[in-house]
Structure 1
Amino acid sequence: MFNNSISIPVTEEQPDEFSGRMRSRPRRKRRKSEFRGKSELAKQICKQITRWWPVLVFLSALLLLVFEASKIGWRSTLSDSEVKVREKKPNVVVSSVNKSEGNLNRLDAPRCLKLLPAEELQHLDFPLNKDLSDSIKKVIYLSESNTPYNKDSQQDLGTTRFNLFTGYQTFNQREQSFKVNETVSVHCGFYSENGGFTIADEDKSYMQTCQSVVSTCAFGGGDNLYQPIGMSDTSLQKVCYVAFWDDITLATQEKQGHVFNKDRFIGKWRIVIVKNLPFRDQRLNGKIPKMLAHRLFPNARYSIWVDSKSQFRRDPLGVFEALLWRSKSVLAISEHGARSSVYDEAKAVVKKNKATPEEVEVQITQYHHDGLPEDKRFNGKKALNEASVIVREHTPVTNLFMCLWFNEVVRFTSRDQLSFPYVLWRLKAPKNIHMFPVCTRKDLVNSMGHIRKAKPLG
């Protein structure tokens, strides 16, 4: 019924469609030829670059040289103008100092240091003297009167830095000093009246009145003096602030207009001028007030050491309460921020050129021979320390500890963080040491960094 067929018209124009498609092919060939032309051009450019590359390199170097020379000329012009400004204003501080003093007088709330409220700090007082239950009752400091120096009898001194100030401690005497007895004899500086570190009688009299002290030092014209902040009126009455200077630092500070008054004070600090420093290495001279506060302040019960690169910014009595009395500790010092192993620290000291590889090798070899563990920890905390702030009670145990630590620094390197864990491990007597975290140390001080390099003694 239905026609299912479909008619497809066939015309004579159909061949033309195919012919049209055929004619499109030559155009494609022309596009390929254009591409080939571009390729040939690129090849020619590469060929020219390959041929003339030495000339191009020379021209680039010449342009760079001209640019650098113009920068140098600009810098020299700027430096000349800076010199003229400084000649007009001799008391202007160098810009690097201004940057480093950005933290100066910053008294923000502590994050990790738990101090008592301000009203309680005003009524804080030293605790009553308690009976010593320590195994060490008395420390006798050796001097030339009881151990005269006989060069023929001294064996294996280990270093030439021992002198009339330190006494000539032999290796055998070093070993004996770590043995714990009720009465202990030890080298602890001030070995001879001719040893140096001479202090005027007026200053000695003042230092003998101190029941507690915050101390710092700057030898060789080193860092500036930063006034302590954050203390209560009670602390100002009960705590001495003493800064040790030598003649070089005195002259440097006077040029900057920092002159003490007739009572030898600059602000809160009592300035003590030290003559005849015993070591050429100023870092080693700085270890004397840092480690031997019990020798310098014979009547003080407590002390806080603050490196010259820092500004102390907390109430001293509050710090004693928070870090010593509350935890029933006799020594408080900061953990190291980066490492816990003495041996890793030794590698870092050498890498940063803080000491020579030879002297560090001698020290670490001795410690390894004695059996010091790779990763020594004290009560679950790092034994490796950062000693820019030291808070302590002057007991026979801590006095002996500081003497032994000082002797290790004299015998080996001035990098005291290498010897602290060793003395802690060898002595075994101090059980109540507070190793506080880095954030607590940052709460204690504003760190400015070192302003200038100390000049060594000639």
Structure 2
Amino acid sequence: MDRLDYVAAIERLNSDFIKERKSRAQKIGNAFLKYSTAISHLHFSKVFQLFRDNIAAKIIAKKYTKEIHSPSILPKDLNFREKKIVVYTCVVGNYDQIPEPLLKYDNVSFVAFVDNPDMFKNKESQWKYSPIPRKLETLSPTLMNRYLKFHPSELFGDYEYSIYIDGNIRIVSDIRTLIQNCGDKTGLAMHRHGARDCVYDEAMVCLLYRRGSAKKIKEQMAKYCSEGFPKNYGLNEANVIVADLKNNRSSNLLNEWWNELLRTGSLRDQLAWPYVLWKNELTIDDVGCLGVDVYSNLKFQINKHN
């Protein structure tokens, strides 16, 4: 089978997998498994949390969910087979969350930043397990991840493009093509958010699911509102970030994103990103689009966080 035919066949299979995973039967089965597991282990606080999250999910579906359409963007005509690309992630502690890439390409390197790389000395993997830089050791695991996520030009100066992925994402297809989507004005590409296009709505979802500091999120949104930051400005997912490392705008914007994340203290990077774009007189459309939500991208399979 030709390599391109092989990749196409993988994506067709992944399409069926994604459809099955999104099916009502699968969702009911997953919910039953979570409840039954919690009950069997007498984790009643977990049962209460699941019940509370179910109520929150119904509110979110009714008030803060809409159909998002991906814009039709013609990818750049780049010879992605010739570009030097690094794919990287950062996982602290739970190493079982780093899935192995399915395919291998000569012009792609895989780097996983972990806090104990000696554990992987004898592991056969495409991932090169690298230590967390010493200067980050005083940061929390979340901030360690965010610093590495937002500073690819500092980490990978010898590469032309970087692709950050969350540690629960498995690459099952040819990821190199994603570099063609980088926006010229930003040097970046991400997925659109699959359910919302408003940072204020996303903040409410974070509050309902108790993600991040409620006090800091409210202060952050109050500040944005007082400055005139508009509703429905657009929203990206931040679990996959493609950066053109030869475009200085990408490193500048990512560094501003990091600084805004620190300033707000909410630790919710999705909330800070649209504001950073707005302050730089940019829009979501200036960020290259990888599609509507990573869960629908045929190049990936996602292990959802608990």
Q: TM-score, normalised by structure 1?
A: 0.46
Shift of 1:345: 0.9
Asked if 2 retains the 8 angstrom alpha-carbon contact of 1:241 and 1:270, the reply is yes
329 and 368 in structure 1: CA distance in 2 versus 1, 3 angstrom threshold: closer
**Pairing 1:43-442 to 2, within 5 Å after superposition:** 124-126=81-83, 211-221=84-94, 223-231=96-104, 236-247=105-116, 250=117, 254=119, 259-261=120-122, 266-274=124-132, 276=134, 277-321=136-180, 323-324=181-182, 330-376=187-233, 383-394=234-245, 395-412=247-264, 413-428=266-281, 432-438=286-292, 442=297
Shift of 1:437: 2.6
Q: CA RMSD in A?
A: 3.3
Shift of 1:220: 3.1
Q: Which residue of 2 aligns with 1:172?
A: none
Shift of 1:371: 1.2
Q: Deviation string for 1:79-115 (max 9, x for gaps)?
A: xxxxxxxxxxxxxxxxxxxxxxxxxxxxxxxxx9999
428 and 289 in structure 1: CA distance in 2 versus 1, 3 angstrom threshold: same
Rounded Cα–Cα distance in structure 1 between residues aligned with 2:292 and 2:172: 16
367 and 75 in structure 1: CA distance in 2 versus 1, 3 angstrom threshold: closer
Rounded Cα–Cα distance in structure 1 between residues aligned with 2:253 and 2:274: 11
- Which ranges of structure 1 fall in alignment gaps of 5 or more residues? 1-73, 77-111, 127-210, 377-382, 452-458
SS across alignment from 2:90: strand
Q: Which residue of 2 aligns with 1:173?
A: none
Asked if 1 retains the 8 angstrom alpha-carbon contact of 2:193 and 2:293, the reply is no
Rounded Cα–Cα distance in structure 1 between residues aligned with 2:236 and 2:167: 18
Q: How many residues align?
A: 233
SS across alignment from 1:270: strand
Q: Which residue of 2 aligns with 1:147?
A: none
Asked if 2 retains the 8 angstrom alpha-carbon contact of 1:336 and 1:385, the reply is yes
Rounded Cα–Cα distance in structure 1 between residues aligned with 2:185 and 2:228: 30
Asked if 1 retains the 8 angstrom alpha-carbon contact of 2:81 and 2:107, the reply is no
Q: Which residue of 2 aligns with 1:133?
A: none
Letter in 2 for 1:296: L
Shift of 1:279: 4.7
Shift of 1:386: 1.0
Shift of 1:361: 1.5
Rounded Cα–Cα distance in structure 2 between residues aligned with 1:420 and 1:223: 29
Rounded Cα–Cα distance in structure 1 between residues aligned with 2:112 and 2:248: 25
Asked if 2 retains the 8 angstrom alpha-carbon contact of 1:392 and 1:398, the reply is yes
324 and 357 in structure 1: CA distance in 2 versus 1, 3 angstrom threshold: closer
Shift of 1:268: 0.5
Rounded Cα–Cα distance in structure 1 between residues aligned with 2:223 and 2:87: 34
Q: Which residue of 1 aligns with 2:54?
A: none
Q: Which residue of 2 aligns with 1:14?
A: none
Asked if 2 retains the 8 angstrom alpha-carbon contact of 1:223 and 1:450, the reply is no
Letter in 1 for 2:281: K
Shift of 1:355: 1.3
Rounded Cα–Cα distance in structure 1 between residues aligned with 2:74 and 2:219: 41
Rounded Cα–Cα distance in structure 1 between residues aligned with 2:108 and 2:141: 27
SS across alignment from 1:437: strand
Rounded Cα–Cα distance in structure 1 between residues aligned with 2:203 and 2:248: 30
Asked if 2 retains the 8 angstrom alpha-carbon contact of 1:304 and 1:391, the reply is yes
Q: TM-score, normalised by structure 2?
A: 0.67
Tell which has more relative contact order, 1 or 2 (C-alpha 8 A, sep 6+).
2
